[in-house]
Amino acid sequence: MGDSMITPSIEYDYLIKFLALGDSGVGKTTFLYQYTDGQFNPKFISTVGIDFREKRVVYRPKTPPNAKPYRIHLQLWDTAGQERFRSLTTAFFRDAMGFILMFDLTSEQSFLNVRNWLTQLQCHAYCEDPDVILVGNKADREDARIISQARAKELADKYSLPYIETSAFTAQNVKESIEMLLERVMSRMEKTIDKSIFPVRQPPPAPTTTEEAPCAC
């Protein structure tokens, strides 16, 4: 897999939409900026609502060995972690094909909130088990680390999520994590391509007086 420069051309095989979510301050914007522009921004300018960045990549399927590479146009949606934007940001979950669920390795609260974010995803994503990667960011701040790798891995295993530690400061695993998610999304697409549509979330059954509504977020 390799990168290519963004061009105004619309020549690509697939438009893939990813969305980053997690508490405010965990580093979503800085991570995406490092991925698209190769730079670290030390300033904290909390995202207002929603934003997006774009990048072109080439995806080479692992099998068969001489498979045709695909030109991918990646759209990376960056959501605000602040609670006051929640109804706006969750409205964008439905259009995303893969999710970067991020917490800050130096923040206990951001780690505890991962469960809540997963509930939001179950409610608002295009299906109940979308492709999600769990990202522990700010790995460069080893002295301030609160969440051990073992603890994060345990949570990831509990929810069957791949786990990766990143640093938007040093760029450690930034590209690798996006590639990891792309690999999963493309494999899912290849599996569902025969059905000619991406799996669509079924409308929930109408709640009855004796049953709770299926989505309580």
d(CA 161, CA 54): 25
Confirm or reject binding of residue 47 to Mg ion (CB under 5 A): yes
Which residue number, 43 or 158, has a Cβ lying nearer to ligand GTP? 43
Instruction: Please select the residue that binds ligand GTP; options are 16, 18, 19, 27, rule is CB under 6 A.
Output: 27
Query: Minimum distance from CB of 81 to ligand GTP (Å)?
Result: 3
Pairing state between β 131-137 and 98-104:
parallel
For ligand GTP, the closer CB: 25 or 199 = 25
* 3-class DSSP assignment, residue 70: strand
168 belongs to the binding site for ligand GTP (CB under 6 A) = yes
- In the range 44-63, which residues lie near ligand GTP by CB under 6 A? 44, 46-47
Kindly indicate which of the ranges 6-14, 43-51, 66-74, 191-199 contains the residues binding ligand GTP, using the contact rule CB under 6 A.
43-51
In sequence order, the 6+-apart residues with CB closer than 8 A to the CB of 32 are: 20, 53, 76, 78
DSSP calls for 120-140: HHHHHSSSSS-EEEEEEE-TT
Q: Which residues bind Mg ion (CB under 5 A)?
A: 28-29, 47
